A and B are shown apart, each in its own frame.
Chain A
Amino acid sequence: MTKQVQQLDRVIIRFAGDSGDGMQLTGDRFTAETGQFGNDLSTLPNFPAEIRAPAGTLPGVSSFQLHFADHDILTPGDAPNVLVAMNPAALKANLGDLPRGADIIANTDEFTKRNLQKVGYAGDPVEDGSLSEWRVHAVPLTSLTVRALEGYDISKKDAERAKNMFALGLLSWLYNRPTEGTIKFLEAKFAKKPEIAKANIAAFQAGWNYGETTESFSVSYEVKPATLAPGVYRNISGNQALAYGLIAASVQSKLPLFLGSYPITPASDILHELSKHKRFGIRTFQAEDEIAGVGAALGAAFGGSLGVTTTSGPGVALKAETVGLAVTTELPLIVVDVQRAGPSTGMPTKTEQTDLLMAMFGRNGESPVPVLAPATPSDCFDTAIEAARIALKYRTPVMLLSDGYLANGSEPWRVPEMSELPDISVAFTTEPNADDGAYLPFKRDPETLARPWAVPGTAGLEHRIGGIEKADGTGNISYDPDNHDRMVRLRQAKIDGIDVPDLAVDDPDGDARVLVLGWGSTYGPIAAAVRRARRNGGKVAQAHLRHLNPLPANTGDVLRAYDKVLLPEINLGQLAMLLRARFLVDIISYNRVRGLPFKAEELAGVIQDVIDSD
């Protein structure tokens, strides 16, 4: 029987199951297959902070959403077309996001009386008709997998665990994905357990074959490759891109990278990734706490390394005093904050943009620091290099604000050529810089206002720096009132004078009266919403800030050029507050703080409302 193949332009799939069901791995593999196939894609993993919440419960549900298309897309999608529900909890937790008519693939083996009761189902929704709005495919994934693996020398438990690969096989058939990559991946992953490798591959193939033979699926779908710019592509998450960006910054600055870090969700993967690449001369130091992480990075910077610390909001709070020390000693340092929902512990695995004001002002005294935020997962690569460029050129700590959405989300990335990467190398000072042959550690470059950087081991330039106020030029301890006033202003002027590219505005017709402004990870949802608004005939311009401090020089002009400026933020209006204070522009804020990215549809409605309102 040859089944019908239907063409689609885009699909959103959500895999959902217990946190032990391997949903993230399943999603990752489907993503890799989809990238190989040439679709554009965007992903959104969503998992609980608990490593293994009680099995079968709502808090234990982990999911992975993937949006792929034959054209370029900007978000992981609002509403799934397909939900793979590995148990009743996964169904219940995700049903609310499912539009009418969507497909549900339910693992009926797990729809037992006990599991149904655990999440408050009185009857079995797969059986009782309560899911009639959707197309339900009842598939006993677990028992099909176990049956397919009879004859393999593995335990029943291991056989059951391969059910995610069966599901992956079924979905791979349903969307005509290439399979070689996953087979290779499983062979490599279980290289030391060949029987497990074989069993997982068999489960994967059994899933594919099941799709082809069962009557439950009468159609399979095809999403043609997208037209992307020529080049070599790979799929990349924000954390991986950030780690690669830091390695690239080390190579392009010719400085050894020193990472001082303390494990924290959702930033730990940067530590993990960098720890794998010691042959680049990268030193990764898992410190005793957040303070030691940044302290060691600053100490290494004093010694001539590219010092980096990676953390999330609670860690930034702890590092504040050391960042202030870096401000006043004027040493290069990169502080990566992968923002998560706060305050306090908040919701560690959920995303937010609520650390902007902390990054800007969360230190004692006048202690300005540059602040940057990447817009997409792959933009984390370029933003890391830009952060290093600024830190090194201006001898300053730099705050880089990623977030949980960027960190774990992924998208195809055109791998840059080496020649496209900027040279960000700086020279250490090796000679005295005063007329009398002395070395003045705080004599500034007249253009950048950066101080010289002489590292230990340089003869004749022995000097002392510290947290006490320094005399302009000599760096000696000074309590002189006028000197302090001068130094406060010099440090501010140095940051204000950082070279930052102008803010670009996207306004295809040039006659929009409404500007939608954003920063950081809201780029995708905002851009997708702007497209929708324009498709509906709305005139709207879009601009996105990567440099939050200092702001691009034309920011005020851009804001004043529009009748209305809409600024969606996943906080209560932090950038809006800064822009209002600085430019006296009446920003229209749109704020939701749900721990989740905006949905394009939601923002499109907001944009339309602003366009329509008077």
Chain B
Amino acid sequence: MTESLNGKGLALVPRTDTPQTLKDFKSDQEVRWCPGCGDYAILAAVQSFLPELGLRRENIVFVSGIGCSSRFPYYLNTYGFHSIHGRAPAIATGLAASRPDLSVWVITGDGDALSIGGNHLIHALRRNVNLNILLFNNRIYGLTKGQYSPTSEVGKITKSTPMGSLDKPFNPISLALGAEAGFVARTIDSDRKHLQGVLREAAAHRGASLVEIYQNCNIFNDGAFDALKDPSLRDDITVKLEHGKPIVFGTGENERAVRLSRTGGVEVVRRSEVADDEILVHDAHNPDPSTAFALSRLDDPAFEHVPIGIFRSIDRPAYDQLMKEQLEAATAAQGPGDLDRLLHSGDTWTIR
């Protein structure tokens, strides 16, 4: 288990002494994704990861929007709310802000989170609501049968774009960083160990965490992330970000390193051409998000170098905590609310 970057995320959620297993988190509902869908791997990873949190199961809530991934809550034996398209972060905000004793997870997809629900996503992130947002990114609309999504590459040929899509895609990591997110990470459905490691850190982080999970839609966008899975390619493409470690990747003569560029960004150079002290050491706790943002651009536009791991993890007060503190401060200053006094406040007069 990696050491928690900051362990306050679950401090207010009641814990259990009863040992839990994967089975405790399986609901009695039949899982109905297409055979071969990446969602199965993510579900299995989450179900087998939840027991290690040691939380009371009844204090865990999964909230989702609309889309294939949003069926997720039905398959977990926790509290769950399958809501409407794009609105899960808003609904989860009300829940998390009013119930600091809950561990609230949002399950969303690239269309749900970044198209119809883009506004709620960015505001949940900037407010730092205590949510773990898992964004399943398959770069396609699955449930509506294969239209391009806001993360599809330019020129995507789909039913709604027979001559190719025209719009520049969002980079979810860049977007989240721009939206003042305190915890931003990327992982992939096929690497359970990495996925669970990221989930662990996300859960431990108090405030909003955004985890982009590359997820394969084998029906409408099969192989979108094959380059990251192909044993002969993946090590030369995947840039694993680990806090406090120099950013190097690739093997043999393809070994590369990342250093700060003269223009204020970052650049990939051959490992052999760069001195050790020139290599960028990843600092996920840097209050300035500029370098994290630069790292998030490494895969653009070609899928040549793809960073995964935790881009950013900084401490700042969570929204529910701040809200609670205001209620407590008001009560401490003025005493608990007294309805009779409130109704009689201001200018009153008596008729006898």
Contacts and interface: CB of A to CB of B under 8 A. Distances in A.
Given A279-B334, A281-B337, A466-B81, A456 B59 contact: yes
A247 B29 CA distance: 40
Contact of A248 (B79, B91, B96, B339): B339
Given A299-B91, A302-B95, A461-B58, A279 B330 contact: yes
Given A256-B98, A287-B90, A322-B84, A38 B351 contact: yes
B90 A291 contact: yes
A516 interface: no
Interface stretch (A47-55, A63-71, A232-240): A232-240
A299 B63 contact: yes
B323 interface: yes
Contacts of A25: none
Interface stretch (A168-176, A223-231, A550-558, A560-568): A223-231
Contacts of A247: 337, 339, 342
Interface string B225-265: 00000000000000000000000000000000000000000
B92 interface: yes
B27 interface: yes
B336 interface: yes
A466 B83 contact: yes
B97 interface: yes
Contacts of A280: 336-337, 339, 342
A289 B58 contact: no
B330 to A, nearest CB: 4
A117 interface: no
B176 to A, nearest CB: 16
B347 A300 contact: no
B73 A230 contact: no
A229 B351 contact: yes
B330 A296 contact: no
A34 to B, nearest CB: 10
A325 interface: yes
Contacts of B4: none
Contacts of A194: none
Nearest to A329: B81
B22 to A, nearest CB: 15
A289 B101 contact: no
A586 interface: no
A456 B102 contact: yes
B97 A283 contact: yes
B330 A303 contact: no
Given A38-B349, A248-B339, A457-B101, A296 B91 contact: yes
Nearest to A229: B351
Contacts of A230: 351-352
B347 A235 contact: yes
A167 B338 CA distance: 37
A464 B98 contact: no
A461 B98 CA distance: 20
B335 interface: yes
A416 B61 contact: no
Nearest to A228: B351
B52 to A, nearest CB: 19
B64 to A, nearest CB: 8
B108 to A, nearest CB: 13
A234 B98 contact: no
A280 B80 CA distance: 29
A304 B60 CA distance: 15
B126 to A, nearest CB: 9
Contact of B323 (A233, A283, A464, A468): A283
A260 interface: yes
A145 B340 CA distance: 41
Nearest to B123: A288
A281 B334 CA distance: 12
Given A302-B91, A322-B84, A279 B98 contact: no
Contacts of A415: 343-344, 348
Given A296-B94, A461-B58, A464-B81, A35 B335 contact: no
B93 A456 contact: no
B184 to A, nearest CB: 19
Interface string A334-358: 0000000000000000000000000
Contacts of B349: 35-36, 38, 232-234
Contacts of B95: 299-300, 302-303, 456
A135 interface: no
Interface residues on B, range: 35 or more
Interface in A446-464: 456-464
Interface residues on A, range: 35 or more
A285 B58 contact: no
B18 to A, nearest CB: 10
B56 interface: yes
A230 to B, nearest CB: 5
A181 B91 contact: no
B120 interface: yes
Which among A234, A287, A295 has the greatest number of chain B C-beta atoms within 10 A?
A295
Interface in B167-225: none
Contacts of A181: 347
Interface in A184-228: 228
Contacts of B351: 38, 228-231, 233
Contacts of A281: 327, 331, 337
B57 A462 contact: yes
A291 B87 contact: yes
Interface string A522-536: 000000000000000
Interface in B12-35: 14, 27, 29
Nearest to A280: B337
B94 A298 contact: yes
B162 interface: no
A416 to B, nearest CB: 7
A258 interface: yes
Given A292-B119, A322-B84, A464-B74, A279 B335 contact: yes
Contacts of B83: 295, 325, 466-467
Interface in A131-180: none
B99 interface: yes
B297 interface: no
A412 B58 CA distance: 48
A28 B260 CA distance: 63
B94 A303 contact: yes
Nearest to B93: A296
Nearest to A474: B28
A234 B120 contact: no
Nearest to A278: B330
B78 interface: yes
Given A38-B351, A283-B98, A298 B91 contact: yes
Contacts of A307: 94
Contacts of B99: 303-304, 456-457
B119 A295 contact: no
A321 interface: yes
14 contacts: A244-B343, A247-B339, A251-B339, A279-B327, A280-B336, A281-B337, A285-B94, A292-B119, A295-B91, A299-B95, A305-B94, A322-B84, A456-B102, A467-B84
Given A296-B97, A299-B92, 18 more contacts: A234-B346, A244-B342, A258-B98, A278-B330, A279-B335, A283-B323, A287-B93, A291-B120, A299-B94, A301-B94, A304-B99, A307-B94, A418-B339, A458-B58, A459-B57, A464-B74, A464-B79, A465-B81
Interface of B: 14, 27, 29, 56-61, 63, 66, 73-74, 77-84, 87, 90-99, 101-102, 119-120, 122-123, 323, 326-327, 329-331, 333-337, 339-340, 342-344, 346-352
Smallest CB-CB A-B distances: 5 pairs:
A466-B82, A296-B94, A299-B94, A280-B337, A295-B90
